Structure 1
Amino acid sequence: MLQDQTILRIPGPSPIPPSVQRAMNQSMIGHRGKETSDMLKKIAPGLKKVFGTTQEVAIIAGSGTAGLETAVVNVVKPGEEVLVVVTGAFGDRFTKICEAFNIKVHVLNVEWGKALNPEEIKAFLAGHPEIKVVFSTYCETSTGVLNPIDKLALAVQEVSDALIVVDGVSCVAGVETKMDEWGIDVMVTGSQKAFMLPAGLTFVAASEKAWKVIEENDQPRFYLSLKKYRDNLLKDTTPFTPALSLLFGLEQVLSLLEAEGLNNVYSRHALMKDMTRAAFKALGIPLLTSDEDASPTVTAVQPEDFDAEEFRKILKKEFAISIAGGQQHLTGKIFRIGHMGYCSPADQLQIISAIEVALKKLGKNIELGKGTAAAQQVYLAQ
Structure 2
Amino acid sequence: MSKHEFFFKIATTADEFEQIHRLNYQTFSEEIPQHEKNEEQKLVDPFHAENTYIICIKENEVIGMTAIRDKRPFSLDRKIGPVELSLSFSVNSPCEVRLLSVKKEYRNGRVFLGLAQFLIKYCLKKGYDIAFISGTVRQLKLYGQLGFQPFAQLTGTDEALFQPMYLTKKTFDESIAGRILPPTIPFLPGPVRISEKVMNALSISPISHRSDQYKEKIAKAKDILAKLMNSKYVHIFLGSGTLANDVVAGQLSLEPGRGLILANGEFGSRLVEQANRFGLQFDVLNKDWGQAFTRDEIISNISDTTGWVWAVHSETSSGMLNDLGLLKEISEQHQLKLCLDCISSLGAIDVDLDGVFLATGVSGKAIRALTGLSFVFHQHEVQPSYTLPQYLDLGTYMAKDSIPFSQSSNLLEALLTALEDINRETFEKVVETHSYLKNQLKQFGFTIISEENSSPIILTIEIPSSLSSVVIGDILFNHGYQLHYESDYLQRRNWIQIACIDHYDKADLEKMTHLLNRVITYEQTAKQQSLVTGI
Instruction: Tell me if both proteins adopt one fold, taking TM over 0.5 as the criterion.
Output: yes
Contact 1:74/1:219 (<8 A) preserved: no
User: Which of 283, 287, 291 is the equivalent residue of 2:444?
Assistant: 283
Q: Tell me how far 1:346 sits from its aligned partner.
A: 5.1
Q: Tell me how far 1:78 sits from its aligned partner.
A: 8.5
**CA separation of 1:184/1:249 partners in 2, compared to 1, >3 Å: closer, same or farther?**
same
Q: How does 1:207-356 map to 2 (within 5 A)?
A: 207-208=379-380, 211=381, 214-215=382-383, 219-233=387-401, 238-257=403-422, 262-290=423-451, 292-304=452-464, 306-319=467-480, 321-325=482-486, 327-328=488-489, 331-343=492-504, 345=506, 347-356=508-517
Gaps of 5+ in 1: 366-382
What letter matches 2:343 in structure 1? V
Contact 1:79/1:102 (<8 A) preserved: no
CA distance, structure 2, for counterparts of residue 308 and residue 177 of structure 1: 32
Look up the match of 1:166: 340
Look up the match of 1:372: none
Look up the match of 1:176: 350
**CA separation of 1:332/1:110 partners in 2, compared to 1, >3 Å: closer, same or farther?**
closer
What do residues 262-293 of structure 1 show as CA deviations (whole Å, max 9, x unaligned)? 22211111111111111110001111112x31
Look up the match of 1:19: 197
Contact 2:319/2:450 (<8 A) preserved: yes
Contact 2:188/2:484 (<8 A) preserved: yes
Tell me the TM-score normalised to structure 1 length.
0.84
For the pair shown, the structure with the greater C-alpha radius of gyration is 2
CA distance, structure 2, for counterparts of residue 206 and residue 117 of structure 1: 26
Greater helix share, structure number = 1
Greater relative contact order (Cα 8 A, min sep 6): structure 1 or 2? 1
Look up the match of 2:58: none
What letter matches 2:472 in structure 1? F
Matched position secondary structure for 1:197: coil
* Number of aligned residues: 347
Contact 1:15/1:343 (<8 A) preserved: no
Look up the match of 1:101: 278
Percent of paired sites with the same residue: 22
Contact 1:30/1:36 (<8 A) preserved: yes
What do residues 34-66 of structure 1 show as CA deviations (whole Å, max 9, x unaligned)? 22122123222211122122x121010010000
Tell me the TM-score normalised to structure 2 length.
0.61
Look up the match of 1:87: 264
Gaps of 5+ in 2: 1-116, 122-172, 174-182, 527-535
What letter matches 1:59 in structure 2? I
What letter matches 1:298 in structure 2? I
CA distance, structure 2, for counterparts of residue 230 and residue 364 of structure 1: 60
Matched, 1:190 2:362: yes
CA distance, structure 1, for counterparts of residue 438 and residue 214 of structure 2: 43
Matched position secondary structure for 1:134: strand
Greater strand share, structure number = 2
CA distance, structure 2, for counterparts of residue 203 and residue 354 of structure 1: 38
CA distance, structure 1, for counterparts of residue 375 and residue 456 of structure 2: 20
What do residues 166-218 of structure 1 show as CA deviations (whole Å, max 9, x unaligned)? 001111110111101xx11111011111111222111111122xx4xx54966
Say which is worse superposed, 192-201 or 237-246, in terms of deviation: 237-246
Contact 2:469/2:491 (<8 A) preserved: no
